[in-house]
Amino acid sequence: MSANRYISEPTQNQVRQRAKFLCEYCHASEQWQYVSFTVDHIIPLAKGGANSIDNLALACFHCNRQKSDKLKAFDEQSLSEVILFNPRTDIWQEHFIWSTDTLRVIGLTPTGRATVAVLAFNRARVLNIRAADRETGRHPHQMTQFK
Ligand SMILES: [Zn+2]
């Protein structure tokens, strides 16, 4: 790990609070997770991204791992390569909506659809967790609904 990859604790806390403790991609709430969420470099350092707060996003472990160093993905509907959702410059509600049963994230735009696919927002394991969390009122997080 190179030195410039280091994100100070105050910066990490700032990212967490700005995100309201939600994964800025799939909107899972960190509150109910066993492991802390990670701070993602939206544009990877290796691709010229900065270590500044404007290039950081709170991401659950899964979204961070799936995203890896990807910046673009293919959208099957428009048959085009598009830039993945950027939590700093894009608005979640413009690209995604919850299904009526609130279990699935539906992409509204090419960017939204490609991001749903690449980050596997609707994998079986997460659908089960969302269903259980919905029963206990933990899902969807109210910030997701009313932000
Ligand atoms: Zn996530």
Instruction: Give the DSSP per-residue string, 47-107.
Output: GT--SSGGGEEEE-HHHHHHHTT--EEEETTTTEEEEPP-TTTS-HHHHEEE-TTSSSEEE
Q: What is the DSSP letter of 20?
A: T
For residue 2, being part of any structural domain is answered with no
For residue 1, being part of any structural domain is answered with no
Torsion of the alpha carbons at 11, 14, 18 and 24, rounded to the nearest 10: 40
Give me the number of domains the chain comprises: 1
Residue 139 has pLDDT above 60, yes or no: yes
For residue 80, being part of any structural domain is answered with yes
What is residue 144's predicted lDDT score, i.e. its pLDDT? 54
CA of 3 from ligand 1 middle (Å) equals 26
| Phi (first) and psi of residue 84, to 5 degrees | -65, 160
For residue 125, being part of any structural domain is answered with yes
CA angle 6, 12, 16 (to 5 degrees): 150
CA of 48 from ligand 1 middle (Å) equals 23
Count CB neighbours of 125 within 10 A. Answer: 9
For residue 4, being part of any structural domain is answered with no
Residue 33 has pLDDT above 90, yes or no: no
What is residue 118's predicted lDDT score, i.e. its pLDDT? 97
For residue 111, being part of any structural domain is answered with yes
pLDDT in tens, 63-119: 999 999 999 999 999 999 999 999 999 999 999 999 999 999 999 999 999 999 999
Residue 121 has pLDDT above 60, yes or no: yes
For residue 90, being part of any structural domain is answered with yes
CA of 120 from ligand 1 middle (Å) equals 9
For residue 102, being part of any structural domain is answered with yes
* Domain interval for residue 107: 9-142
The answer to whether residues 86 and 56 touch, using CB atoms and an 8 Å cutoff, is no
Distance (Å, whole) CA 119 – CA 62 = 8
CA of 22 from ligand 1 middle (Å) equals 8
